[in-house]
Every structure is written in C-alpha cells, then in structure tokens.
Chain A
Amino acid sequence: MVSWRRLRALCRKETWQILRDPSSNLIAFVLPVIMLFIFGYGINLDSSAVRLGLVLEDHGPEAVHFAESLTRSPYLRVRPAATQADAAADLTAGRTRGFVVVPGDFGERLQRPTDEAPLLVVSDGAEPNTANFVQAYVSGAWGGWQLQRAAERGEPPPAGLNLDARFWYNPSATSRNYLVPGAITIIMTVIGALLTSLVVAREWERGTMEALLASPVTRAELLLSKVLPYYALGIVSLFLCVGVAVVVMRVPFRGSWWVLWGIGSLFLASSLGLGLLISTTLRNQFNAAQAALNAAFLPALMLSGFLYEIRSMPPVIRAVTMLVPARYFVTAMQTVFQAGDVWPVLIPSALFLGAAGVFFLGLTARKTRRRLE
C-alpha cells in the first residue's frame, strides 16, 4: 500500500514547509528553549530564601541571640521591622512572606516550662506553598536555636527525636531536577499536538488537499507523511532539550538514552495522533488551534502531575488524569532522569502511551478520507 517514493516526496514537502514557516520555527525551536529556561530558573518551588520580617520587642540578650541565629539561617532573608504594624504592612504588600515577633516578655517566658514557643509567627496565607515553608523554616530555626543554646550553656542536649531526612535521587531537593523533565513534556505536547493540529486543516483551507486527493496518494501515505516529519521534529527537539538540561542546566540524567528515545517516541505517537485527529476532524485552523489548546495543552499542564500533586486532587479529577498521556510521560521522564531505568514504573507508562498512540492514530486513520466527503 505504501510507495516509498511517494512517501519520501510527501515527507520532503512537509519538511520544507516546517522549515520555511516562521511561526512553526518559533514553536519548534525557540519556544522550547525559552520554556526550558523558565522552568529551570524562573519556576522554583524550593523557596530557598524566604523573606521574613522580624520585630524585636525584647532587646534582652536571649532575644538578640535568637535574632542573630534567624539572620544566619541560609533559608531565611530577614528584614527587620520596627513595629508589628510595619511588619504587617510589609506582609500585605508582598515584600515579606511572613514575620516573627519576639515579644517583650520573650526572656521571661523562655524560663517558664510550657510546650509553646514564646514567639508570634505569621505567614502570608495568600501564598499557601510559601506559607508552609515559612512554618517549616522558622520551626527548624527555633529548634536549632534551642539546641545551640543548650550546648553553649554546657547542658546535655535534651533527649528527643532526631529525624534525619534524605531525598533519594535528588539529595539537595532541587525542584529544577523534576520540573525540567516535566517542562520537556509540555514542550513535546506543544510540538506534537498544537503544531500538528494546524497542518491538515491548513491543507484543506488552502485547497492543496484537493490536488493531493486527485493524485495516486494512498491514505496510509497521507497519514504517514504527516506523522513522520513531525515525529522527527519532536525527537530532535526532545534530545535538544535533554541535552540543554543535562549539559547547561546540570540536571542529572541517570537512565539510558535508548529508553528516553523509546518513551519519547511513544509519547509523540499519542500527541501527534491527538493533534492530527483534531486537525482532520475540524478542517479549520482557528478552531483546531483552540481545541488543541484545551484538549492537549491544558491537561498536560494541569493534570500531568508535573507541577501539581495528582494524589491531592479529588477522586473525579484523579480519574480524569488516568486518561492524560502527559501524566504517564511525566512519570517516565522524571524516573528516567532521576531514578534511572526503573522498569516497574516505565513499563506501565510505556504500555499506556503505546495504547494511546494506537488509539489516536487509528482514529485519525479512520477519519482520513480519500475523498472530499
């Protein structure tokens, strides 16, 4: 059914078109680099230096000592304020994400045995993630200071619990290490689905499809000629992104390249399939682009689990995420990057992606007409 000569000619045509269209180039080569850098440097969930206001109402030696230890913490950037009102104003304006008040009776209360710290800690709840970090960091600083104080006084360290936390794969808990693999998923979705959603619709709108249909081209050739060039583009883009991530951004890559290639190919098959299905069904560029945005891009961003925790979503939405190919690709990419070739994770993902690819491409093939109606 497939003539290599015809297929090659169609693929060559498609390639020239991609390379000559400035907006395709923008999406395929420029945007990925921008996105990679945004996710690598712009989006940082680590809150490595939370800006914290500090109101010192007690000027006794203990209070000053505590303030110094807060200031020394690598996780906090302390901004002193004269009064609580000033600190509150800073918080409201977003200049700080929380503040600590060391009350006038700090020294006295420190002597009294209670289980509550003599501190007033306020966080900016409008930024819930950062608020959690404020709580954790101040809490850590407080505990650390107490231990230090005990040690300086020559007291034996109070017995208690010592939790030693370790992150596997990502010892420094750098969010870049898992955001970048996720960002690559978004990029592949944009290339695979958004760009291809336009290509078949464009042929219909410009009338070139009619000339093709009147030639001896078969349905398989027509479909493959749309899949192969964009597949090549996607794979080039994938390796380019991974290369930049590993070499420039120093994101560790522990898996093997051929696994990356395999998983990437399966994901591309599913997103190309989705894009082509949209394009073939709608035959109108404007609507196709909108549909691709809602059917491919948004789910990849919101429901793939790369930015937001899937387990925390309500059951209905969790069920929906099971149908989002990007979800499986995010999991696979994060695993290949950080954990290596972990087959129990990769195989189910690969199976689903393969099935999604077959489903979308098959449906596209069914919708591809050899005639005008």
Chain B
Amino acid sequence: MSQLIWNGLFVGSFYALVALGYSMVYGVIKLLNFAHGDLYMLGAFSGFAMLGTMGGLVKSSSLVALFVVLILTMVATGLSGVVIERIAYRPLRGAPRLSLLLTAVGASFALEYGTRIVAGPNPKVYPVRLDGTALNVLGARVTWQQIALMSVSVVLMVALNVLITRTRQGRAMRAIALDPKACLLMGIDVDKVISRTFFIGSALAGAAGVMAGGYYGKIDFLMGFIIGLKAFTAAVIGGIGNIPGTMLGGLLLGLLESFGTHFVGGQWRDVFAFGFLILFLTVRPTGLLGERVTERV
C-alpha cells in the first residue's frame, strides 16, 4: 500500500510541476496553452544538448552538472515560452477564443516536428543517469534520486506560490487575471506581466523535462504530448487557474493512476483515472480548490 502511495506521489509531482504552467497561463489570459507539454519536451532536449556539449565535465561530477543544466534549461525554456507567446499568442489576444486554441495546437505541432527535424525522430538517451540505492520507508521502496527530484519539485512549487502571493509581480499577475483592461488603465504593463507568466510557467515545465530526462533516461520528440494531457487533467481536477489546487490535482492524478493500476489492472488504469475525472467534474465542476473564482492566477 505504501508503495502505491509513494509511486503515485512521485509521478504526481511531475504532473503537478508541468500542470502549474498550464494553470498559470489559463488563470491569467484564459488560454489553454497546448504547447505547454512540448516545452517540457524542449526542456528535456535542451538539457540533453547542454550535457552533450559539457562532455567530460559531466562524467566527473554528474549531480552538479545536472543541477547547473537544470538552471540553464529553465532559463532557455522560459525564454522559448516568451517567444512563443510573442509570436503565436499576443497578436491574437483580441481574437475569438477558438483562434487562440488553434494557434496553441499549431505551436505544439511546430515545436514537436521542429525538434524532430533538428534532433531526429529516434529517442535519445541522457548521458547522465541518476542512480542511487534504495531505502525502505514504511514498506515502500524509495530511492535517493526520487527524494532529490521530489525535493526540487517541492522547492520550485513553494517558490512559485510565494512569488504569486507575496510579491508585486504576483499581485500584478493576479490583477490581470481579474481584469486586464482595468490593469492597463492603472498603469500595469500587461504585456510584460504576461510575458513573465509565460517565462515562469515554461521554466517549470523545462525543469520537469530535465528531471524526467535524468531520471528515466529516454527522451523523444513526442514525449510532451501525454504529459501535457495529464497535466491538463491535473489542472482541471485541482481547479484550473488555482495554484495550490493544481499542485493537489497533480498529486491526486498520480495517486489515481497508481491505485487504478493496482485495483483494476494496467489496461484499465486510464479508464479509471479519467472516468474519475468525469465523475469529479459533474459533481464539482470548478475542481478541488476552484471555489476561489474571484482570485485566479
């Protein structure tokens, strides 16, 4: 049982990290950024490229190298997120919601198949692998690298929450979520704040990408699709636009999958997890913590 819970929480923390970007962007400009999962993929690939160029340096101190690459990748994917927003979303900000949704799908395909052209269709294998000994915690098999990755996720999530609730930046974001026109009148540089939102969300997805690369080892140009879908689901379960709700949603989805596999079998897992989503939405359409409609980021 404790193994099931641990498996669920570990996978869930990845979902949560990716889901946060989805949720933030939706909260601020009501856009479902379908390219978000692909930023996760882009993060994994840019991390791969950086580790490749560092070459011998990586071998001597792989954990430090991975950490440096994590930071650099966050900056790189963050900037790509900003560029995507500038090119694909900003010119359409006044357009109907459906056009935005379509450009988001377009941006997603452009990223996937652009990466395919640059890096090739074959899956790549990370040069650095996180290997560690396993501990026994309350009957669950837990490895050190899992603990390390989860700690990084938790730190990033807490930092994000502080940023949004305690800083001027965060206040500006929350204000835009409430009423962008009024913000503009009050002298807030809306474009700049939205850019920053994309930067932060994309950087988190990129971080998750590097961590997945280092932990699982295999990356490919379509890896963002499924996790994008899962992250979206997690965001909806938790209450899209709500940061703590999204984190909770990610963990809950991870647990649902883990328990679903256990109780109804591997082939029924997605039916179980997504069936639960449907049930959940009919009973509680705003998501777990979605009641704070007045203040969504």
A and B co-occur in one complex: no
